[in-house]
Structures are given as C-alpha cells and as structure tokens.
Amino acid sequence: MIKQLVIVERVSLIGHIVSMVFGLVGILLVIPNAEVILHLSEIGQTAMQWSMAGGGVVYMILGAAAVFLYGLRTLGLGRILGFMLPAVLISLTSELLGTSTGFPFGHYSYLSGLGYKIAGLVPFTIPLSWFYVGCSAYLLGRAGLEVDKKPSLLRHVGAIGLGALLLTSWDFVLDPAMSQTSLPFWYWQQPGAFFGMPYQNFAGWLGTGAVFMTVAALLWRNQPIKFERSQLNVPLAIYLGNFGFATVMSLAAGFSIPVLLGLVLGVAPALALWWNSSASPAQIAVEPANEVSVASVKVALK
C-alpha cells in the first residue's frame, strides 16, 4: 500500500511541475504568437487547446494531490486532514470575503481559466493552492525551527510566522504577473502601488496563512512531528517549483523587484530552514497510511 502511495505521489508531483512548464509555454509563447499554433501538428494543436482550457486547473489539482499523498504517507491521515480542512475552509472564506467586500486583500475579481467558481466568485482550485503551498511552507518552518525537537511557544509562533511569510513571498512574485499577463486570471478593481497590487493584499495573505497554520498547530499539539531533511524534499520541491513558475511569469512581464523580494524573503529562508532540519534519521510517530483508524479523522476534526 505504501509503495503504491509513493508512486501516485511522485506521478502527481511530476505532473504538477510538467503542467506548470506546459502552462508557461502556452501563456508566454503561444498566446502572444497565436500563429504558432497553426504550425503545430494536430496533436500539438489539441494539446495547446487543452492547456489553455484546463491547464491551470490541472496543475493545482495535481499539486494538492501530491501534498495530500505526501502528508498521508509521512504524517498520517489525521494530521494531513488537520491541516487541509482548515487551510481550504479558512482560505475560501477569506477569498469569498475578498471578492465580495474587498476585505482582507482589496477589491479584485477572478476571470476564467481556473475552474468552476464557488458562489460565482472564487475558483475551487484557489483554496487547493493555499493548502498545498501553505502546507509546504509550514512544514519547512516547523522542521527548520525544530519545533517538535525543542518545543516552546516561541518556536511554535516562529514556525507559523515563517510559514506565513514564505506563503506571502510566493504571492509577491505571482500576483503582479498573473493579473497582468496577456491572459490574466484575475484583476484588481483598484490597482495598488506595488506593481498593481495594493499593500493590503500582503496583510491579507499573511493573516490568512497565519490563521490556518495556527489552527493546524493546535490540532497537532499532542502529535509531535520529527522529520529528517530528506523527508522535506517534497515540500521544498513544491515551494521552489511554484516560486519558479511565478518567477518566470514576473520576469517575462518585466517585474524584477518582486522576484528579488521573493528570493530574499521566500526562497532563501526556505532553503535555510530545509538545511537546518535534522539530517539524521528520526523516529516519526505516525500511523501507517494503510492502517489509519477512524480515530485519526476524529483528531483532525476536533
């Protein structure tokens, strides 16, 4: 059972990264030069049409699947649900408020390209992206600060703060490009001073991330997690892969300052946290994924 989970997890992770690369090709090369499609084979034309119609949805679903399966394998069902459910529900609430009232991010609206919109406002894939990038960021912060090896309130708060900062640093780079590309996925009704984004948006991202990470930390409070460095390779790959996607988009749009800011506040801390995590094997008190009891689910939902 574990072996099959690892295979599906790796396929999801690889598919997630390949989908992002394919999306970059479509957004940056094909759309601005539509005549390129005419020179492709029939298969190539079909692939590009599919990419434009559902590529954004696929890469987010695959990212969420990869992180969920990774969490199921390494954390157990109770813990990964204890993070996923608050992350999805709290981020969805923030997004619904943001798109309908302007709080906490500012006034913005989603366009097409990211799937079915919940309440006609927020694509269902958006809360999934909060989950898989947020979980990766929090695990890096928690392991890098050795929260479970040397538990203290300061370390717990530090892990939440760093996790929320890594999550927001990704948005520094992603948001300007994705809202101003030749095929935008959302737009700001009141553009802000930071490359079209209002500064309020950063506070919204920090606050939303910190809230659902705090909820997860409380649900995990009696379940220590001890990772060795190699077990953080998937969260690091997810974070760097999504940051890389956002970086290419931003640089193509001529936005270098957001990329530099993201490198300093996001990538550098993520690598430092990964490196600072234990490099030696550790005993991980988790339940095997194929023997998860109903009690695990109850722990996550308390």
- Average pLDDT over every residue of 41-54: 61
By CB atoms closer than 10 A (0-12, 13-18, 19+), residue 267 is buried
Give me the pLDDT at residue 30, please.
Answer: 61
Least confident of 128-142, 154-168, 268-282: 268-282
Report pLDDT digits (tens) over 182-213. Answer: 677 898 988 899 999 999 999 999 999 999 99
Looking at residue 38, its pLDDT comes to 61
The mean pLDDT value for 46-74 works out to 82
Phi and psi torsions of 194, nearest 5°: -95, 85
Q: What is the pLDDT of residue 40?
A: 66
Mean pLDDT of 119-132: 97
pLDDT of residue 23: 83
| pLDDT in the model for residue 264 | 98
pLDDT for the residue numbered 54: 58
Q: 148-159, pLDDT tens digit by residue?
A: 999 999 999 999
Determine which of 53-57, 76-80, 176-180 has the lowest per-residue pLDDT on average.
Answer: 53-57
Split at pLDDT 50, 70, 90, the class of 51 is: low
The torsion angles phi and psi of 140, rounded to 5 degrees, stand at -65, -45
- How large is the greatest C-alpha to C-alpha distance in the chain, in angstroms? 61
Task: Tell me how far apart the alpha carbons of residues 177 and 185 are, in angstroms, rounded to a whole number.
Answer: 10
Residue 115 · residue 141 · CB < 8 Å: no
The upper half-sphere exposure of residue 14, i.e. CA atoms within 13 Å in the direction of its Cβ, equals 6
Backbone phi, then psi, for 175, in 5-degree steps? -65, -45
- Per-residue pLDDT reduced to its tens digit, 5-36: 899 999 999 999 999 998 887 777 666 565 66
Nearest to 128 by CA among 242, 261, 21: 242
CB 133 within 8 A of CB 167: yes
Q: How confident is the model at residue 174 (pLDDT cuts 50, 70, 90)?
A: very high
Tens of pLDDT, residues 127-156: 999 999 999 999 999 999 999 999 999 999
